[in-house]
């Protein structure tokens, strides 16, 4: 039987344009129509959000933990429930829990945690993002140098086989991984993102031509754009299809640098929070330092939520609200190949909607 319900607000951002006087109708989690309030059947219950707007719910493809439970330290379903709750509070209905450079045992335990979470009908978690340890120690940032290495084919194969269906993104440095390794990863339908890398421009472009389709936290922990050595940053900006994440918290990247990257890359630039949580256990003792986190004195993660990222992009980087919303929803959906069902408010799409007030603060995720 249909379970029709409708949602309306002062205006609706579909991912493409703004509507007013309309309602989004959903049935069993799918958007079945967008109709005028005047023509909406009286038999359909309507939840209205005055003083607010509706937009496609956000997608955070890099976040490590929440509410005192870093996934790498507590590789269990409860950590993922807390992480999902944190994401929801900032308007993100979907997330990609992330594990930074660690032991293989921890990676396996985190894979098990995701499987357990899914088995308990846990919502919102799209899979696992593994960041390192196949990175360049020169650009390690807060990653643990003693665990960083170039992988053997066997190491990669064992991890991928264990994480089949769970691992969705791997961040690596293209200059420290063989083509045989990257080809193997790609054969498992896993997105490769270049990051924590000291690649030259040519090494980066070669990696992109071999199937690397993304770059992890643009500008941070990578070879910079210089006039004689364009590096990974220059290669990313100069490419015509590779996408890159960016952290708009005001600490990881200057807002002017975000504005420049946006002007060059347009829809290829998307947002991640890179959010961590307090912990004094494991390899990463993250400590809150103002509105960012540090590990052993090194910037190690943000305290962002996705709605705060939207606000920062609009207020500090001068990016339009339309584009800021797309950078947090449609563009990450495109990277993971889910833009046919996520990132828009449109018939046939998932009813994943965020309610925001005019201060760009999340007021809820109705109907999801």
DSSP letter at 196 equals S
Angle at 14 between CA 45 and CA 366, to 5 degrees: 40
Q: What is the pLDDT of residue 83?
A: 98
Reply yes or no on whether 249 is catalytic. Answer: no
Catalytic pick from 60, 249, 274, 307?
274
Tens-digit pLDDT profile for residues 260-284 = 999 999 999 999 999 999 999 999 9
Q: Distance between CA atoms of 233 and 250, rounded to whole angstroms? A: 19
What confidence score (pLDDT) does residue 2 get?
63
Q: Are 132 and 97 in contact (CB under 8 A)?
A: no
Peptide bond into 133 cis (omega under 30): yes
Has this prediction a pTM greater than 0.85? yes
- 199-208 confidence digits (pLDDT tens): 999 999 999 9
For the domain spanning 58-335, the CATH number is: 3.20.20.140
Distance CA 53, CA 55 (A): 7
170-181 confidence digits (pLDDT tens): 999 999 999 999
Question: What is the reported pLDDT for 367?
Answer: 75
Mean pLDDT of the chain: 97
Instruction: Kindly state the greatest CA–CA separation across the chain.
Output: 66
Task: Inform me whether the pLDDT recorded for 1 exceeds 90.
Answer: no
- Domain(s) labelled CATH 3.20.20.140 in the chain stretch across 58-335
- Tokens 């200059």 correspond to 175
pLDDT in tens, 110-128: 999 999 999 999 999 999 9
What integer pLDDT is reported at residue 208 of this predicted model?
98
Q: How confident is the model at residue 62 (pLDDT cuts 50, 70, 90)?
A: very high
The CATH number of 4-56+345-364 is 2.30.40.10
pLDDT band at residue 333 under the 50/70/90 scheme: very high
Number of Cβ within 10 Å of residue 154's Cβ equals 8
State the span(s) of the chain assigned CATH 2.30.40.10.
4-56+345-364
Q: Span 26-38, mean pLDDT?
A: 96
């Amino acid at each position: 039987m249909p379970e029709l319900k409708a949602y309306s607000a002062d205006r609706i951002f579909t991912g493409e344009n703004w509507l007013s006087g309309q309602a989004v109708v959903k049935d069993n989690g799918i958007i079945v129509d967008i109709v005028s309030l005047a023509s909406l059947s009286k038999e359909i219950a309507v939840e209205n959000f005055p003083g607010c707007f509706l937009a496609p719910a956000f997608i955070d493809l890099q976040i490590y933990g929440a509410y005192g439970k870093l996934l790498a330290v507590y590789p269990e379903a409860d950590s993922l429930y807390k992480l999902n709750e944190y994401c929801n509070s900032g308007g993100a209905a979907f997330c990609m829990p992330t594990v930074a450079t660690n032991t293989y045992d921890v990676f396996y335990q985190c894979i098990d945690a995701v499987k357990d979470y899914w088995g308990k009908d846990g919502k919102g978690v799209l899979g696992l993002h593994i960041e390192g340890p196949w990175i360049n120690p020169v650009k390690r940032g807060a990653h643990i140098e003693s665990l960083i290495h170039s992988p053997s084919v066997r190491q990669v194969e064992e991890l991928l086989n264990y994480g089949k269906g769970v691992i969705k993104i791997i961040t690596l440095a293209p200059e420290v991984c063989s083509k045989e390794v990257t080809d193997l990863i790609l054969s498992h339908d896993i997105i490769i993102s270049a990051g924590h890398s000291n690649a030259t421009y040519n090494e980066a472009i070669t990696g992109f031509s071999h199937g690397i389709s993304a770059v992890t936290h643009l500008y941070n922990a990578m070879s910079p754009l210089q006039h004689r050595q364009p590096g990974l940053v220059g290669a990313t900006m100069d490419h015509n299809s590779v996408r890159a994440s960016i952290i708009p918290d005001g600490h990881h990247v200057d807002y002017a640098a975000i504005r420049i990257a946006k002007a060059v890359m347009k829809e290829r630039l998307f947002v991640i929070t890179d959010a961590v949580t307090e912990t004094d256990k494991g390899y990463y003792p993250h400590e809150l330092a103002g509105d960012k986190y540090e590990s052993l004195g090194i910037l190690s993660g943000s305290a962002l939520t996705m709605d705060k990222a939207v606000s920062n992009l609009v207020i500090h980087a001068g990016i339009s609200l339309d584009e800021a919303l797309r950078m947090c929803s449609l563009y990450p959906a495109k990277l993971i190949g889910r833009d046919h069902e996520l990132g828009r408010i449109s018939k046939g799409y998932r009813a994943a909607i965020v309610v925001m007030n005019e201060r760009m603060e999340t007021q809820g995720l109705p109907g999801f």
